[in-house]
Amino acid sequence: MVPNTDNRSLPQVRVALAGFGTVGREVVRLLQEEESRYREQLGIDLCLVTILDRSYQKKDTSGIPSEVRLTDSVSEFLQAPSDMIVELLGGSDPADQIIRTGLEQQKAVVTANKLLMAQSGKEYLALANQNDSYLGFEASVAGAIPIIRVLRRSLFSDRIVGVRGILNGTCNFILSEMGDNGLEYEEALSQAQSLGYAEADPTLDVSGADTTDKLAILSAIAFKAVVSPQQIATRGVTEIKPVDLLYAQKLDSTIKLLGVAVKASDHLCLRVSPFLVSNRLPLSNVSGVLNAVEITGSSAGSVVLSGRGAGGAPTAVSVTSDILNAALWKTGAKPSASQATSHHSSTAGEEDSGSSASKPISDKDERYPFFIRFIVKDRPGIIAELANILAERKINIDSVLEESCSDSSNLPFIITVKPILFSTVQEAVGQMKALDFNQIPPLVLPMLQE
């Protein structure tokens, strides 16, 4: 990874890496451990020249060769001669400045920053296009799963009609623990925290915001759509109770937090929500911290990829693959189809040249069967009142399930309804919320069946 006098004849690519944290450390390890294989197979001398980290002095940098300059100064980092910038700081500042500067200076830029890619990906792509630079961001969605490459390359020939996925390992772990072991939400969250699967402040994960950022990036690629995360209807997992997973089991289903994008004739339906997922669907089997993405092409049908969506080493694989492709691009060696991954080469060009349009997002065609859970103070006439509200909106009841419960002042039961528009069921549940027997507001979940 440092200049190698034996390889003077190979083209050299100088890499500047920002962020020596969970992912950055693993990228450096991979580049060092696989150095000779990369050099031999790609014919490029990759050379790590500088690392920016505000607290590098407190970290174990003993394995980093002395030729690599360590700095905590952003300006020194940006001034260091390099051909490629790898941004692994996270957050907005100074990550945004580093990405923009790299692109403006015609360097290859690789980032894993989902927050910035969701917010400013379109601008970065325009910058990359204007400056004939390169942007790789495979690791910004679903860690080790090469979803961006698959969407941009492997399935490019097909017309994508839907993308849905389990995009947050923390939420998937929490829901799996609640379903498998009957834990309350708070217990499952603290278990996730003690195992290092959830941050001390888990808000971004459990609120669904992290999934929303990733869905915005996927939608931009799958549908050439400019989607701001703020436009996506988002609900997290905090309202889910063990009883919901119990009733889901009775319905031969489980509960998963999904990001779902469906292409309708003239608009997109985008949603992040816990869904009741039938056990016959592949996403139902993806448990614990794993992620999975299901892409539906009009000709290919459904393609499912699953794997580790986070963690230093898995994420570093995606980052390093981007680095290698960026190096090939930088040296003029054309990446083979299987290696290409970036936002620079020809298929990426449509977005870069500005043909990506702002597609309207609407729930006007968003139709699902629904699961509605109630926890009530029991009294006669409850089902009749609820049935009336549903009937007024022509919503057909599919089933009513009530497990025996000794506490009649906190009685849980569920109603499932036949497919209906999201907006219609929300209206009905809005009216149901006002009824005096509710101990907590009813929970409505869309259902995915075969």
How far does the chain reach from its first CA to its final CA, in angstroms?
50
Q: Which is nearer to ligand NAP, 205 or 244 (CB)?
A: 205
Q: How far is the CB of 61 from ligand NAP (least distance, A)?
A: 11
**CA count, 13 A, side-chain hemisphere, 440:** 13
Q: What are phi and psi of 448, to 5 degrees?
A: -105, 120
Single out the catalytic residue among 114, 214, 263, 359.
Answer: 214
| Residue 359 is among the residues annotated as catalytic for this protein | no
| Smallest distance, ligand NAP to C-beta of residue 89, A | 4
Q: Which residue has the tokens 């994508």?
A: 160
Q: Which is nearer to ligand NAP, 14 or 214 (CB)?
A: 214
Q: Which helix (H) or strand (E) holds 384?
A: helix 382-392
CB of 13 vs ligand NAP, minimal distance in Å = 21
39 CB neighbour count, 10 Å cutoff = 17
Q: Count Cα neighbours of 225 within 13 Å in the Cβ-side half-sphere.
A: 26
Closer residue to ligand NAP, CB minimum distance, 145 or 283: 145
Residue nearest to ligand NAP (CB): 21
132 torsion bin: left (phi>0), alpha (psi -120 to 50), beta (else) = left
DSSP bridge pairs for 371: 416, 445
Contact residues toward ligand NAP (CB under 6 A) are 19-24, 52-55, 88-90, 94, 112-114, 139, 143, 310-312, 315
109 C-beta neighbours (distance < 10 Å), count? 28
Query: In the complex, what is the shortest distance from the CB of residue 42 to ligand NAP, in angstroms, rounded to a whole number?
Result: 24
Nearest distance, CB of residue 113 and ligand NAP, angstroms: 4
Kindly tell me which of 189 and 240 has the beta carbon lying closer to ligand NAP: 189
165 CB-near residues (< 8 Å, 6+ apart): 142, 147, 214, 215, 218, 258, 259, 283, 291, 292, 293, 294
CA 318 to chain centre: 14
**Closer by beta carbon to ligand NAP, 305 or else 383:** 305
Which CB sits closer to ligand NAP, 192 or 414?
192
Please report how close the Cβ of residue 279 comes to ligand NAP at its closest, in angstroms. 28
Nearest Cα neighbor of 323 from 46, 1, 130 is: 46
Enzyme catalytic residues: 214
